[in-house]
Amino acid sequence: MAETSVIYLFCEICGEETPHRILRGSISSDENAGFDGTVQCVPCGSVHSAHLDMEKPVKVPAIISEGSSSTKTSMELYPHELLRVGEEMMWDGHNLRITSIESGGRRLDRARAEEVSCLWLKNYDTIDVKISVVEGANTRSQKLTAAPDEEFAVGDLMDLGRTKVVVTKIKTERRMVYREGSPVEARRIKRIYTKRVNERVH
């Protein structure tokens, strides 16, 4: 017999969710049933009776965009799962980012899965990073494809096609980074400023 030793529950003594040892009762193998029994909080040792409803996943309509195309689908999420705009999630082997949450005709910044009438996401496996290149008196703009967790730092040398550039500053969501050796993840970058490096080719 498999023994389920510990479940996570809110403990009123500890004031937070803690591991509880099951003293009596058991988790039914029937997925529709919950748990009824007596449990003991591991950190404080207090004994509670507990009833737990097993959460069944809900189907949330979702629209996933990738480039200029979008796909309608539905995602199975736990009803109490908190979703936030800007948050990333793995789904079907892809990294997605929540761009909008619709709940009963309103747009929300955050909502529990059960309240969501449509979830808008975009494929976030790779992102386009904007780059400004200063060449003499001219500045041109271009994009670089990067993984969201790829890091860039002031002082980095990059090859943009046939142009070699050095990163001079990085604009993030909150500030401008001028210091060398402070890497910034691509997902935080608004724009990378670079200048062309003149090389003598042998």
User: Which of helix, strand or coil describes residue 113?
Assistant: helix
Residue 53 DSSP symbol: P
Query: Could you report how far apart the first and last alpha carbons of the chain are, in Å?
Result: 73
Q: How far is the CB of 5 from Zn ion (least distance, A)?
A: 16
In the chain, the DSSP E strands lie at 6-11, 16-27, 35-41, 47-52, 58-66, 69-77, 82-84, 88-91, 94-103, 106-108, 110-112, 118-123, 127-135, 138-146, 151-152, 157-160, 163-172, 176-177, 184-185, 189-196
Out of 6, 23, 33, 44, point to the residue binding Zn ion (CB under 5 A). 44
Binding to Zn ion by residue 197, rule CB under 5 A?
no
Out of 22, 39, 41, 184, point to the residue binding Zn ion (CB under 5 A). 41
Phi/psi of residue 201, nearest 5 degrees: -90, 130
Q: How far is the CB of 78 from Zn ion (least distance, A)?
A: 24
Decide whether 11 or 184 has the Cβ nearer to Zn ion: 11
- From the list 6-14, 30-38, 61-69, 93-101, the region that binds Zn ion by CB under 5 A is 6-14
Considering only residues 9 to 38 of the shown chain, the ones binding Zn ion according to CB under 5 A are: 11, 13-14
Q: How far apart are CA 8 and CA 151, in angstroms?
A: 36
- From the list 2-10, 42-50, 80-88, 152-160, the region that binds Zn ion by CB under 5 A is 42-50
Q: How far is the CB of 48 from Zn ion (least distance, A)?
A: 9
Q: How far is the CB of 4 from Zn ion (least distance, A)?
A: 19
Strands 151-152 and 157-160, by their bridges, are unpaired
Q: How far is the CB of 19 from Zn ion (least distance, A)?
A: 9
Considering only residues 133 to 162 of the shown chain, the ones binding Zn ion according to CB under 5 A are: none
Amino acid at 127: I
Q: How far is the CB of 106 from Zn ion (least distance, A)?
A: 38
For residue 81, which of 106, 101, 51, 52 has the smallest C-alpha distance?
101
Positions touching Zn ion (CB under 5 A) are 11, 13-14, 41, 44
